[in-house]
Structure 1
Amino acid sequence: MTSLKQCQLLRDSLAHIGKKIIFQSRVKEEPAYYCNECELEVFNILFVTSENSSRKSYIVHCEDCARQRSPSLPNVVILEQYKMEDLMQVYDHLTLAPQSGSSR
C-alpha cells in the first residue's frame, strides 16, 4: 500500500509542476531499474536523462537524485511503467499463500 501511495503522491506532485508523465509499459522479463547515482531500485516512475542524444543512451534516476541535479527537472523525461489502476487491481486481488508445514 505504501508503494501505491508513493506512486500517486509522486504523480500528483509532477502534475502540479506541469511535468508530463509518459506511459511506457514494462516488457516481460525486463530487469528492474536502479538509480545511476545512488543505486536505489526505482519502481514504476522513472526519471530519465539522455547521456548522449546522438548515441541514444539513457540514464535512469530516482526522484531525489533527479531533483538534486535540477529541481525543476528540465531535460528529464518521466516514464511510468504501470497504470495506477493496474497496480490497484493487483493490490486488491492479492492473497497470501497459507503457511505450509509450520510447527510451533
Structure 2
Amino acid sequence: MVNSQLILDFLEQLRIPVKRHGKKPDDIAHNCQDCEIEVFNILFVTTQDKRSEVRCFSCARRNDPSLQSFSVLSEYYMSELATIYDNFQTNTHPIVAYTVGK
C-alpha cells in the first residue's frame, strides 16, 4: 500500500495522469513484461502490435525515465486499500493437543 502511494505521489509530481482501471474478482494478475514479477495496483501500459504490455514501475522507468510513453492505470483507489488494511483481522485457532497412541 505504501509503495502504491509513493508511486502515485511521484506521478503527480510529474503531472502524469492515472486512469482508473478497476479490478474484478475474476481478473487475472498482471505480470511485468520485462522482469515477470506480479504488478499490483499501478500498471504501466504500452501497446505493441495492438497488444497491451504491462510493466512494473522499475522496468517502466528503465524503458522511459520520463514515463511519458506509458498509460498509467490504477486497479484500486487508495481509500479501498486503506479500508481493507484497517479492517484486517487475523483468525487464530487454539492449538489442540493430541495424545499420542499407546
* Secondary structure class of the residue paired with 2:43: strand
Contact 2:16 2:68 in 1 (8 A): no
CA distance in 1 between counterparts of 2:55 and 2:94 reads 40
Decide which of 73, 81, 89 is 1:87's aligned counterpart.
81
Which string of whole-angstrom CA distances, capped at 9 and with x for unpartnered residues, describes residues 3-46 of structure 1? Answer: x1111111000000110000011122111111010001100000
In structure 1, stretches of 5+ residues that fail to align are none
**Which amino acid in structure 2 is aligned with residue 18 of structure 1?**
R
- Structure 2 residue runs of 5 or longer lacking an equivalent are 98-102
2:69 paired residue among 61, 67, 75: 75
Specify the alignment match of 1:25 in structure 2.
22
State the percentage of identical aligned residues.
32
TM-score (norm 1): 0.87
Q: Are the structure 2 counterparts of residues 102 and 36 from structure 1 closer, same or farther at C-alpha, using a change threshold of 3 Å?
A: farther
From 63, 66, 69, the counterpart of 2:60? 66
Scaled by the length of structure 2, what TM-score is found? 0.89
Runs of 4+ in 1 over 4 A off after TM superposition: none
Deviations 1:65-92 (A, max 9, x none): 1111110012200000000000000000
Structure number with larger C-alpha Rg: 2
How many residues are matched? 97
